[in-house]
Amino acid sequence: MASSVRTVTFDTRDPYHLAGFWLQVFEVERPDDDEPGDPYAAVVTDTVKLLFAQNSDHKVTKNRVHLDLEPTQPRDAEVDRIVALGATIAYDHRKPDGAGFVVLQDPEGNEFCVLRSAAERAATS
């Protein structure tokens, strides 16, 4: 393989705050070297590193790249959990048969999807 993804970087007005939201989503601890007011903050999971970089520009259009989250619990329970953390539902693409996904927005408007869990997909195949 010529390249691999090392980090996904988000421009944000407040790196520490937005990283705090994503730390809760992924249920991981904040790195020891992240402090309020720093120009960067990180979220490190077993599968991906997210970096939040300070940028005062406001988001004005749809994301061109987004994350697709596959929860370990049922999709609808994960959507409810993440909304309780501060996300909002942007688009609901759930289908009556249980298929589909939900597009959420983080506190700064970055869109991401919550898919069905592997168990939910296996139960319908």
pLDDT at res. 104: 96
Spatial CB neighbours of 89, under 8 Å, sequence gap ≥ 6: 79, 83, 102, 103, 104, 105
Spatial CB neighbours of 108, under 8 Å, sequence gap ≥ 6: 12, 13, 14, 18, 59
Which pLDDT band, with edges at 50, 70 and 90, does 120 fall under? very high
Asked whether the beta carbons of 106 and 22 are under 8 A apart, the reply is yes
pLDDT at residue 1 tops 90: no
- In total, the chain counts a number of residues equal to 125
Quick: pLDDT tens for 71-114.
Answer: 999 999 999 999 999 999 999 999 999 999 999 999 999 999 99
For the chain, give the mean pLDDT.
93
